[in-house]
């Protein structure tokens, strides 16, 4: 397919979100599209930080937050593929600490948490599908109360204590987005006997030729890192003195990686190529097919994410009104999206308004990276939707030509 004429359409979207009044723009953005072989578009606009006005470049480094999840999930599926992990065995067999967690039934009259033992053990399958019982304090009122009244640390501390949260419901009861994949990473560490960072470097990054992705940034990566910005109620933007910790206590498989967008595109290409990388295979074709298929039961529904900490997240949902499901570990489109994303395509997002999609059917994927809080920022999220829409419009035109 001839993609040579696509640049102008994508450039227009990036120009649109980085120009004009502050309330209607983002500080900076990097966006890319790849086919099965190479990037067919790379764009960068704006600045890394409003505090320094250093230009955003295609090699800028981002805290990629929950777009980390698919990478952590890949390490889990490698363990399954090698016969080292039974997805339906108790996860505590591999990560004993998860067996200590209780279910939060509510709070008594004095505000003390009411806890009980779960009715069943958490499995790694439930962790991968976000049905184990975990949530996030910025999406769940009970976790927010545990944080504000009982000192439950935020997961962005990447601390072991931040993982030792009560369950919000019994394992398997429903779908709720949360810290599940951080625990799945602990399962991998228990199996491999080494830090997740070492596992990913050896088994995922090396075969894909990825060097600019890590839980702890090199000095060069740190120098290229884009600042996280907060959008105020009036639409203004302020650069924050906040970053995910380097040298974290726990390598958080759910949100802890830093990366440049070009490196993430190498990971997306692996999914477009049935698990193969330029320097070796990451997953078998049949494992890829297993990993991208819906794994939820009929009673487990992917729902809107309610923003209960306004500074961190707005209410957020991809394609409201359309049915979505969940795989290991992606959102799956069960209906064609308004952008043109087809049934069966996968994707997800990161807290600082990073978004990606992987369309294995057509052989393309894309990534949109900004560093803005709260999640669901209308300008960045809207820009991403326009970016994906521009892609499918141009793809249809190329096919028709």
The token pair at 126 is: 């439930």
Q: Is 313 a catalytic residue?
A: no
Which residues does 24 contact at the CB level (< 8 Å), separation at least 6?
Answer: 235, 379
Rg for the chain, CA atoms, rounded: 20
From the number of C-beta atoms within 10 Å of its C-beta (0-12, 13-18, 19+), residue 233 rates as exposed
Which candidate, 315, 345, 277, places its Cα nearest to that of 177?
315
**What are the distances in angstroms from CA 131 to CA 71, 114, 124, 382?**
19, 21, 10, 29
The token pair at 251 is: 């390598």
Q: Is 69 a catalytic residue?
A: yes
Q: Is 177 a catalytic residue?
A: yes
| Gap between the Cα atoms of 20 and 319, Å rounded | 27
Catalytic residue among 177, 264, 328, 356: 177
What sign results for the dihedral spanned by CA atoms 173, 175, 179, 181?
positive
| Gap between the Cα atoms of 215 and 225, Å rounded | 13
Q: Which residues of 102-141 are buried (b: 16+ CB within 10 A; e: fewer)?
A: ebbeeeeeeeebeeeebeebbbbbbbbbbbbbbbbbbbbe
Catalytic residue among 49, 60, 66, 197: 66
Which candidate, 281, 245, 299, places its Cα nearest to that of 131?
299
| Gap between the Cα atoms of 87 and 134, Å rounded | 17
Catalytic residue among 69, 260, 324, 356: 69
| Gap between the Cα atoms of 157 and 248, Å rounded | 8
How many CB atoms neighbour CB 22 within 10 A? Answer: 15
Active site residues: 66, 69, 177
């Amino acid at each position: 397919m001839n993609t040579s004429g696509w640049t102008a359409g994508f450039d227009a979207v990036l120009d649109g979100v980085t120009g004009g009044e502050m309330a209607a723009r983002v500080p900076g953005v990097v966006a890319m599209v790849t086919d099965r072989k190479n990037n067919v578009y790379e764009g960068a606009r704006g600045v890394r930080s409003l505090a320094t006005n250093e230009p955003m470049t295609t090699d800028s480094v981002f805290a990629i937050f929950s777009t980390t999840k698919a990478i952590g999930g890949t390490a889990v599926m490698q363990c399954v593929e090698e016969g080292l992990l039974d997805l339906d065995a108790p996860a505590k067999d591999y990560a004993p600490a998860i067996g200590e967690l209780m279910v939060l039934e509510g709070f008594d009259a004095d505000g003390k948490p009411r806890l009980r033992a779960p009715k069943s053990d958490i499995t790694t399958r439930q962790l991968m599908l976000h049905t184990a019982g975990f949530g996030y304090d910025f999406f769940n009122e009970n976790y927010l109360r545990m944080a504000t009244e009982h000192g439950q640390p935020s997961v962005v501390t990447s601390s072991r204590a931040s993982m030792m949260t009560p369950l919000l419901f019994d394992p398997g009861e429903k779908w709720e987005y949360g810290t599940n994949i951080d625990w799945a990473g602990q399962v991998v560490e228990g199996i491999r006997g080494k830090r997740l960072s070492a596992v990913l470097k050896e088994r995922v990054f090396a075969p894909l030729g990825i060097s600019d992705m890590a839980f702890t940034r090199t000095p060069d990566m740190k120098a290229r890192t884009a600042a996280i910005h907060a959008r105020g109620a009036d639409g203004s933007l302020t650069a924050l003195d906040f970053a995910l910790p380097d040298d974290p206590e726990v390598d958080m498989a759910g949100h802890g990686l830093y990366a440049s967008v070009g490196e993430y595109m190498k990971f997306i290409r692996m999914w477009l190529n049935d698990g193969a990388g330029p320097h070796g295979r990451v997953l078998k074709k049949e494992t890829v097919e297993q990993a991208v298929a819906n794994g939820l039961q009929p009673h487990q529904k992917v729902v809107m994410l309610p923003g209960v900490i306004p500074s961190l997240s707005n209410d957020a949902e991809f394609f409201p009104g359309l049915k979505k499901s969940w795989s290991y570990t992606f959102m799956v489109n069960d209906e064609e999206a308004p952008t043109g994303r087809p049934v069966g395509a996968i994707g997800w997002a990161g807290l600082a308004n990073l978004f990606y999609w992987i369309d294995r059917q057509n052989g393309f994927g894309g990534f949109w990276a900004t560093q803005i809080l709260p999640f669901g920022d209308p300008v960045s999220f809207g820009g991403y939707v326009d970016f994906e829409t521009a892609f499918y419009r141009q793809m249809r035109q190329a096919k028709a030509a």
